[in-house]
A and B are shown apart, each in its own frame.
Chain A
Amino acid sequence: MKVPPGVSAKQFESAIAAFTAVVGAEWVFTSDDDLEPYRDAYSILWGEPEEKIASAAVAPLNVEQVQTVVRIANSNRIPLYPISTGKNLGYGGAAPVLSGSVVLDLKRMNRILEVDERNAYAVVEPGVTYFDLYRYIQDRELNLWIDCPDPGWGSLIGNALDYGGGYTHSSYRNHFESHCGMEVVLANGDLLRTGMGALPGAKTWQQNKYGYGPWLDGLFKQSSLGVVTKMGFWLYPAPEAYLSGIIGVPKKADIGPLVDVINYLENTVTMQGMPVFSCSFLPLGFAAPPPPGMPGYDAPVVEQEDYTAAHSLPFWTVTVSYYGAAEVVKAQWEYTKRKASAIPGATFSGGEVIAMPPKPETLKGPLAKSPFGIPALSIFSIGARSEQFDPTDGHITCSPIIPRTGEDIVAAYDLIQKTVKRLDLPVMILTPPIGCWARTFVILIMMATTHEPEKNMRTRASFRELIRILAEHGYGEYRTAAAFQDDVMATYSFNNHALLRFHEAIKDAVDPNGILSAGRYGVWPRHLRKVGR
């Protein structure tokens, strides 16, 4: 049996016995076979001594069991690593950051506690997946939408706490920002409710985020300070119609004014759907050569613009979308065309109004369901585990946040392209700038992981260099795999790492024994600060 670091075998056995008494033998896992699901299937450390492996897993059924398990862990100094459903693939999966931790698996806590149609919110436990909530709403014919990532098999709470994003209306795509109210088990087993939830009998826990006094919810995002056992989420009252159109512009320099128009539309809520930018010379990844005769991304601009002119192609496109009443979305599309017509040579296509709910033919194909808040798994038929990529073992993702300007799009892709080539990184997919959150873009640079340690070692070294270079240019990552969480935290270094020092001060205060999620997002408890990193 693997034992957590710094814990004796006897102490660990005693803790396991105590966990078993709380949740039942069926829900305590210690064998290699039972712990296999808690490995990170995409691990960049696969099969190496440093691979992050759990020593055990415990799956409580309710909040009271979570509190008791946490108290046992606290008194025995057993490191716990809470997960909701462990589907955080590409960013660590179900594996703990500190190898040897006991995974606190919350998947059995899968109750949808409340869905209020009139005020459009839901309260769920950590084991509730997007599929679960979608089914619940459909079965009851509630006039509500969810916003979900693709794949939609993960937990609402897990995705929100890791700062995940979705595809529908801008008010709901940021999953952390669209939550309202939390219940949290602290490291000493105490139970906290945030916002209005602190008022016994509160009638507005899921309607007012801030309650009274400092707002604490942010402390539990990407955090090691507590175990979130309930969260409220604002849901989207089902819109009547949807409209999507495409704007094309002919010149490379047009990306500046194009992004400015989109920003204006979005920041005035004239356009609510996710803007999806694309460039004729920026196909997925670098591995695939451009079609014969087509200049590459790094070809001279004159050649590229000659090519697009000769083939009647736009240089850039952006797909825009709108939700609401048919007459409103039509007017918003017309207004968008008027604003974007200021860019010489701008073209427009699409613009068909689709009445909701969408017909089955609208929902066919990868990512087709996401704009309608319908969970899917179709991404796996085109992603890391699909036929298109070799090897197929998995991927890690470098996810820099980029300003919402056309100039930064060009600068960031130039930098990424140059750096990826120089470091010979195994890039599988380089996404267009993704506008799932307001005010910034995120670019996903997805790199292959393998089961070959030597290849992974090279990738790790280059990945670290990429993180450093992007940060040097002002592009910080918002999320990363466990193997790089210290590296990313190290880049947030203003004033001699004041942010990390403050995180550590809070960690020491609320989890003095350092039992919760040691090392998560680069924050280590005091006793592991040197050895953990």
Chain B
Amino acid sequence: MIMKGNASVLKLWDRRQAMLAAGAAATASATPFPCLAAEPATPRVGGIAVVDLRLFESAAFANETVRHGYRISRIGGDITELWVHEIEPSWRRGNACVAGLTEYGAFFCLERLGFDHGLRVIFRGEHRRINSHTALHRLFGAERTTMRDTLLGLQSNDWARHTAWVAAVAQAAPSMPMDFEIAGPARADQPRVLVSWVIGPKRAAGQGMPI
């Protein structure tokens, strides 16, 4: 039988830790991006945000998406229940956007299942921890996010929340012309690879996104 390997490989966040992380981010939301000179516009796009309760970064990302009109759904790595009870019925009814910052497995499943419903990945970021304190971010998304704001945000400790904002902007104007890589800080126990993503209906650039 295939068993999960050494549990220490996956640094588990318990629910309390994750909620504390989300709460801390919420408290800070009055000044969401102190690294930036001015607060960026907040597009309200809507959809389902997937938060992996084991991951600090996932909670921070999801918390930020609330400001953009998302409702949060929780997983602990495995997306089966979320898929069966929320996302599949939602996609069956229409074309709700789903976003998250998760491990690759959750993203990969939803990307493939989204294809079956005629959906596409309209924003994707890869956040690869390259040592105990540095992550390499590579984002693919809409060009409406200004390069300066994006770069500053990703170089902050609050990069996960910033990525959620970039994702929301990308969702509002999905065209995926942006593709760049930049290094920023990482927590030592951040998983080796995280993916931020938005899956939604394909639309021509600038057409906007149905909520």
Residues of A within 8 A of B202 (CB): 33
Whether, in the assembled complex, A506 has its beta carbon less than 8 Å from a beta carbon of chain B, the answer is no
Whether, in the assembled complex, A380 has its beta carbon less than 8 Å from a beta carbon of chain B, the answer is yes
B80 touches A376 (CB 8 A): yes
A288 touches B5 (CB 8 A): yes
Q: Say how far B107's CB is from chain A's closest CB, in angstroms.
A: 8
Of A202-210, A381-389, A406-414, which binds chain B?
A: A381-389
Chain A residue at smallest Cβ distance from B82: A377
B105 touches A385 (CB 8 A): yes
Taking a contact as CB atoms closer than 8 A, the residue among B1, B88, B105, B120 that contacts A383 in the complex is B105
A278 touches B108 (CB 8 A): no
Residues of A within 8 A of B106 (CB): 380-381
Of B13-21, B32-40, B111-119, which binds chain A?
A: B111-119
B191 touches A387 (CB 8 A): yes
Given contacts A107-B116, A387-B10, contact A276 B80 (CB under 8 A): no
Interface size on B, residues (CB 8 A): 31
**Which residues of chain B in 179-201 are interfacial with respect to chain A, using CB atoms and an 8 Å cutoff?**
191-193
Chain A residue at smallest Cβ distance from B105: A380
Q: Say how far B87's CB is from chain A's closest CB, in angstroms.
A: 11
Interface size on A, residues (CB 8 A): 37
Q: How many A-B residue pairs have CB under 8 A?
A: 85
Residues of A within 8 A of B80 (CB): 369, 375-378
B116 touches A131 (CB 8 A): no
A387 touches B1 (CB 8 A): no
B193 touches A381 (CB 8 A): no
A319 touches B1 (CB 8 A): yes
**Which residues of chain A in 359-393 are interfacial with respect to chain B, using CB atoms and an 8 Å cutoff?**
365-367, 369, 375-383, 385-388, 390, 392
Residues of B within 8 A of A131 (CB): 83-84, 88
B109 touches A380 (CB 8 A): yes
Chain B residue at smallest Cβ distance from A89: B112
Q: A386 to B192, alpha carbons, bound, how many Å?
A: 10
Q: A71 to B10, alpha carbons, bound, how many Å?
A: 53
Chain B residue at smallest Cβ distance from A276: B1
Residues of B within 8 A of A369 (CB): 80
Q: Say how far B65's CB is from chain A's closest CB, in angstroms.
A: 22
Whether, in the assembled complex, A432 has its beta carbon less than 8 Å from a beta carbon of chain B, the answer is yes
Q: A148 to B77, alpha carbons, bound, how many Å?
A: 21
Taking a contact as CB atoms closer than 8 A, the residue among B6, B112, B191 that contacts A87 in the complex is B112
Q: Say how far B131's CB is from chain A's closest CB, in angstroms.
A: 14
Whether, in the assembled complex, A85 has its beta carbon less than 8 Å from a beta carbon of chain B, the answer is yes
Residues of A within 8 A of B78 (CB): 366, 376-378, 380-381
Residues of A within 8 A of B191 (CB): 387
Contact bitstring A407-448, B, C-beta under 8 A = 1, else 0: 000000000000000000000010110000000000000000
B9 touches A387 (CB 8 A): yes
Q: A120 to B88, alpha carbons, bound, how many Å?
A: 27
Q: A333 to B129, alpha carbons, bound, how many Å?
A: 49
Can you pick out 10 interface pairs between chain A and chain B where the beta carbons lie within 8 Å of each other?
A41-B112, A131-B83, A153-B109, A276-B1, A378-B77, A385-B107, A387-B104, A387-B191, A388-B5, A429-B2
